[in-house]
Amino acid sequence: MDKSDIVNALREKHAIIFPLQTGHNRLRYHLFNKYKIGPSNICTCDKMTETHILQKCPTYNEQRKHTWPTHMYVQDKLYG
Residue 57's closest CA among 74, 69, 70? 74
Segment 62-71 shows an average pLDDT of 89
Q: What is the mean pLDDT of the chain?
A: 73
Q: Are 25 and 39 in contact (CB under 8 A)?
A: no
Q: How far apart are the first and last CA of the chain?
A: 23
Q: Encode pLDDT of 19-57 as tens digits.
A: 666 665 666 565 655 655 566 667 777 677 778 878 888
Burial of 45 (0-12, 13-18, 19+ CB in 10 A): middle
pLDDT at 78: 75
